[in-house]
Amino acid sequence: MKWGKSWILNARPDAPPIAVADTENNAVRIVAHEAHAAHAGIFNGQSLSDARALVPDLECHSRDRAAERKLLGSLAAWCERYTPLVALDGDDSLLMDVTGCTHLFGGEASFIADIETRLAAQGFTVRACLADTAGAAWAMARYGTERIIARDQHENAISPLPLAALRLDAALVKSLGRVGFKTIGCIAEVPRAPLTARFGAELLDRLDQASGRQDEIISPLMPVAELASEKRFADPIVHEDDIKRCIGLLAGNIIALLERRDLGVRTCELKLFRVDGEVQSLSVHASNPLRDAERIAALFHERLARLHTDLDAGFGFDIVRLNILQADPFNGGQHDLVERRDAGDGYDALIDRLGARLGRDRVLQFSFTDTHIPERRFALVPVCGRDGKTDPEQIVLPGPARTPTRPLVLLERPEPIDAIAQVPDSPPSRFRWRKVLYEIARSEGPERIACEWWRDGRASLSRDYFRVEDTQGYRFWLFRYGLYDRETARPDWYMHGLFS
Amino acid sequence: MAAIAHKRIADAAKNLAQSLSPGPGETACQPGASFGIPALDQHLNGGICTSALHEVRCSLARDFACAAGFALGLAAQFGKQGAKKFLWVIDPAASVDSGLPFPDGLNEHGIDPKRVIFVRPITLQDALWSADQAAKCCDLSAVVFQVKGNPKPFDMTATRRLMLRARESGVLVCVLRQSGAEEASAAATRWHVEIMPSRADADFEHGPGQARHAQTLERNRHGRTGQWTLVWNPESRAFEDGTSSLETTHRVHRIHASAHRPDRPVEMGQVVDLERAS
């Protein structure tokens, strides 16, 4: 919204009320409106033309579901300050598993109050409810009046609620209503078998989920960290140095936990919760399990150095959390105590630091495929991309050769050249590449590399490779694309590589 | 009394000796590793310094492969013993049209492609930073920094820093300058590589034989420069003298391309070989 998040709090006295409309069953209806628009007679479900008749200057926007989802997603990320288990639920609600978290906020009442005040400060109208089961909390948040349902009281609490509170289809609720079932309590009292026979399994599944007889699995939005350490600040921190110091502190906290479990960090994530609801997350990877607070902090320093101006601190961060997303068994003493190491850093530290600063996809090594097509033979893959396995696949390469058969440098893609050659299969006598004419003095070939018909199709062409040397001594790897007269009438020539 | 005076004199002499010897930033290189080619070793005061910065440049983009071959040869022959990995840092401008090392070609060149790690940053600043970090790492065998032309950020200060890092860590750092001009740098040696017609192949007389290059030593800490014809032997992983079997005597003059800067004014009276009309 263009007035920012606080427009609800600071009302716009002179401006017309705002509403959001959407097309439902070929009619444009109001789906949301500003609170004070209700005084003018606007309500949800009203058709837009009626609303316009009541308030001619109504400011109406069409519904943007993608933006709503995005907003809910960012809200879910923000809610990770309360618990790591946050899941999206439908279009307008979030489910949080807060088992064991409420005491950190001084009990359930202040926990709920904290959520409500903070979200209200961001401009949201919230109904929060805490119950033993996700189903009961869902029902009470929408249809109930209480906000905190005491332990084992949820069945009693939801029994007077209407059946729609069970997350059922509108059609099912209607047909249940026709036979006299109005509340959840009614359903709970009658025998189960006839209900299932008549209304299907969903009804009792939902009832069991709400009452806790059946487990309901919520799938959290973010992966749950194996270990986490966080620091909360009464005054938000803004400066990069403060953040760095905080990272060092958190990493130090986590090391003790890692030692107890005999683990080392592989993937580690830093979450910075901004006061105004934004959450920034940075992650770093180590090529080998790491259990050194300084090195973990150093990786984040590189990551921050790369972000530099992109990290928008806004009004500051009030929570900094370090999540260990992946940890592997720590393989003990890597360094020899007796043998003194040279000054400087180790290989692993270098690769991790380069990866943290430049991105993991910028530090590469060869991986091989068993094919003869030169450009498919290899790929550059991240060094620490594969878990635990850092060595490329084993493929047997022939040894060194005094007169090489393969070029030292391969062009990214074959470049077309203008070549003059005798038909059908002689090497070119001269050719033009990148606007320069080369006279060929020596040549060897052809070496035929057939196409991979199982991949490229039957119509694809063979390549005849030639090693040629021009009068100055440049050595090139050229190929004729297609066999003369058998595959194509006018084969093209390509430059593919340069010999040293 | 005499003993104290004696000690003082000894101390003073020691201090003087310390102050006269070059500081840590400018120590002379350790006795270098020998090429095994007497004429060349003599110029280099016994051999090439392995824990230092060296520069290999070529004038034209198409010379890149032979310059890369020479740089890789240096790295393979004089890289740190016992260390496993090469690090190859690519300046983003350099990777546009020069292509990439081909693993089969590397293997035939005597370098295990599994040992080569490539770093391909997005900006030149990041590339410089990567090379700097890599030169600090003592677990590497050698670092090759591929750069195109003579970019401004890669100046005297940057090369000096690389030189110091290399000396501390004992890693051979090689700047591979593609289509670049001569430039003042802190490198221990600078080589200009040019292509030469290959040696005749005994097995196949019409085919290209073993590669030979004309290496010009343009800058040398020990003062003397010169030109040699070298042949890389991938089996013994060592350079050999290629002069003995020199077949073509004429040198080909070429007009050098310039990158990122206007071309130098052509010297008066320079002869450019044109292709003969007949």
Confidence of residue A343 (pLDDT cuts 50, 70, 90): very low
Taking alpha carbons only, the member of A55, A26, A27, A25 closest to residue A43 is A55
Return the residue matching tokens 């391909």: B120
A239 CB-contact burial (10 Å; exposed 0-12 / middle 13-18 / buried 19+): exposed
Interface contact A410-B195, CB threshold 8 A: no
Q: pLDDT tens digits, residue range B105-138? A: 999 998 988 889 999 999 999 999 999 999 988 8
The one-character DSSP state at B48 is B
Strand intervals (E) in chain B:
53-57, 85-90, 100-101, 116-119, 140-148, 172-178, 189-196, 212-220, 226-233, 238-241
Q: Does A343 touch chain B (CB under 8 A)?
A: yes
Lowest mean pLDDT across A16-20, A208-212, B97-101, B274-278:
B274-278
Rounded average pLDDT over A158-165: 88
Task: Return the pLDDT at B252.
Answer: 46
For residue A305 the two structure tokens come to: 């150095």
Q: pLDDT tens digits, residue range B23-82? A: 444 444 456 788 888 888 888 888 888 889 999 999 888 889 999 999 999 998 888 877
Burial B245-271 (b: 16+ CB within 10 A, else e): eeeeeeeeeeeeeebeeeeeeeeeeee
How far A256 CA lies from chain B's nearest CA (Å)?
A: 28
A274, amino acid identity: R
Q: Where are the alpha helices (DSSP H) in A130-200?
A: 134-143, 154-158, 170-178, 184-189, 192-199
For residue A447 the two structure tokens come to: 């070496």
CB A203 within 8 A of CB A229: no
Task: Return the pLDDT at A477.
Answer: 93
For residue B45 the two structure tokens come to: 């005061």
Residue B247 has pLDDT above 80, yes or no: no
CA distance B144 to B73: 11
Residue A391 has pLDDT above 80, yes or no: no
Q: Does B247 touch chain A (CB under 8 A)?
A: no
For residue A335 the two structure tokens come to: 């360094």
Interface contact A473-B118, CB threshold 8 A: no
CA distance A262 to A442: 63
Q: Tell me which chain A residues have a C-beta less than 8 angstroms from the C-beta of B234.
A: 400-402, 404
User: What percent of chain A lies above the pLDDT cut of 70?
Assistant: 92
How many degrees, rounded to 5, is the angle at CA B270 between CA B265 and CA B271?
Answer: 135
Task: Return the pLDDT at B28.
Answer: 47
Rounded average pLDDT over A189-199: 87
Average pLDDT score, chain A? 84
SS3 content of chain B, % helix, strand, coil (to 5): 30, 25, 45
Residue B259 has pLDDT above 70, yes or no: no
Interface contact B102-A443, CB threshold 8 A: no
Residues ≥6 apart with Cβ < 8 Å to A341: A335, B138
Give, to the nearest 10 degrees, the angle between helix A201-211 and helix A170-178.
100
B247, amino acid identity: E
Q: Does A473 touch chain B (CB under 8 A)?
A: yes
Q: Does A368 touch chain B (CB under 8 A)?
A: yes
Residues ≥6 apart with Cβ < 8 Å to A149: A129, A130, A131, A132, A136, A137, A140, A157
Rounded average pLDDT over B219-243: 84
A222, amino acid identity: M
Residue A216 has pLDDT above 80, yes or no: yes
CB B94 within 8 A of CB B178: yes
Residue B248 has pLDDT above 60, yes or no: no
How far B225 CA lies from chain A's nearest CA (Å)?
A: 23
Q: Does B24 touch chain A (CB under 8 A)?
A: no
Q: Tell me which chain A residues have a C-beta less than 8 angstroms from the C-beta of B102.
A: 374, 378, 406-410, 497
Confidence of residue B270 (pLDDT cuts 50, 70, 90): low
B239 CB-contact burial (10 Å; exposed 0-12 / middle 13-18 / buried 19+): buried
Q: Tell me which chain B residues have a C-beta less than 8 angstroms from the C-beta of A417.
A: none
CA distance B273 to B21: 50
CA distance A399 to B170: 28
Residue A130 has pLDDT above 50, yes or no: yes
CA distance A349 to A355: 10
For residue B14 the two structure tokens come to: 């020691």
CB A19 within 8 A of CB A33: yes
Q: pLDDT tens digits, residue range A247-257? A: 999 999 988 88
Rounded average pLDDT over A32-47: 83
Residue A387 has pLDDT above 70, yes or no: no
Residue B251 has pLDDT above 50, yes or no: no
CB A287 within 8 A of CB A256: no
- The residues facing B126 across adjacent strands are none
How far B82 CA lies from chain A's nearest CA (Å)?
A: 13
Residue B145 has pLDDT above 90, yes or no: yes
Interface contact A500-B85, CB threshold 8 A: no
Task: Return the pLDDT at B1.
Answer: 56
Report strand pairing: A93-96 vs A59-62.
unpaired
Q: Tell me which chain A residues have a C-beta less than 8 angstroms from the C-beta of B66.
A: 500
Interface contact B116-A365, CB threshold 8 A: yes
Which residue has better confidence, B200 or A261?
Answer: A261
Q: Does B11 touch chain A (CB under 8 A)?
A: no
Residue A119 has pLDDT above 70, yes or no: yes
Q: pLDDT tens digits, residue range A297-342? A: 988 988 888 877 777 888 889 899 999 988 888 875 555 444 444 4
Nearest CA in chain A to B138: A344
Task: Return the pLDDT at A202.
Answer: 87
- Give the long-range contacts of residues A67-72, CB within 8 A, separation 24 or more: A68/A92
Lowest mean pLDDT across A385-399, A422-436, B168-182, B234-248:
A385-399
The one-character DSSP state at B186 is -
Task: Return the pLDDT at B164.
Answer: 93
Show which of residues 389-428 on chain A sit within 8 Å of chain B, judged by CB atoms.
391-392, 397-412
- The residues facing A230 across adjacent strands are A321
Q: Does A471 touch chain B (CB under 8 A)?
A: yes
B16, amino acid identity: L
Taking alpha carbons only, the member of A155, A270, A289, A269 closest to residue A209 is A155
Q: Tell me which chain B residues have a C-beta less than 8 angstroms from the C-beta of A371.
A: none
Interface contact A499-B99, CB threshold 8 A: no
Q: Does A64 touch chain B (CB under 8 A)?
A: no
Average pLDDT score, chain B? 80
Interface contact B207-A380, CB threshold 8 A: no
Pick from A397, A411, A443: CB nearest B207: A443
Q: pLDDT tens digits, residue range A403-445? A: 888 999 999 889 999 999 887 888 899 999 999 999 998 888 7
Show which of residues 95-124 on chain B sit within 8 Å of chain A, judged by CB atoms.
98-110, 113-114, 116-122
Confidence of residue B158 (pLDDT cuts 50, 70, 90): very high
CA distance B71 to B130: 18
Task: Return the pLDDT at B130.
Answer: 93
Q: Count CA atoms within 13 Å of residue A82 on its CB side.
A: 29
Give, to the nearest 10 degrees, the angle between helix A293-307 and helix A240-261.
140
CA distance A165 to A140: 8
Q: In what side-by-side order are the strands of the sheet with A263-274? A: A227-237, A317-329, A263-274, A279-290
Show which of residues 26-65 on chain B sit within 8 Å of chain A, judged by CB atoms.
61-62, 64-65
- When scoring B88, B117, B199 by the number of chain A Cβ atoms within 10 A, the one with the most, hence best to mutate, is B117
Lowest mean pLDDT across A471-480, B40-49, B147-156:
B40-49
Full DSSP string of A50-89: HHHHH-TT-EEEE--HHHHHHHHHHHHHHHTTT-S-EEEE
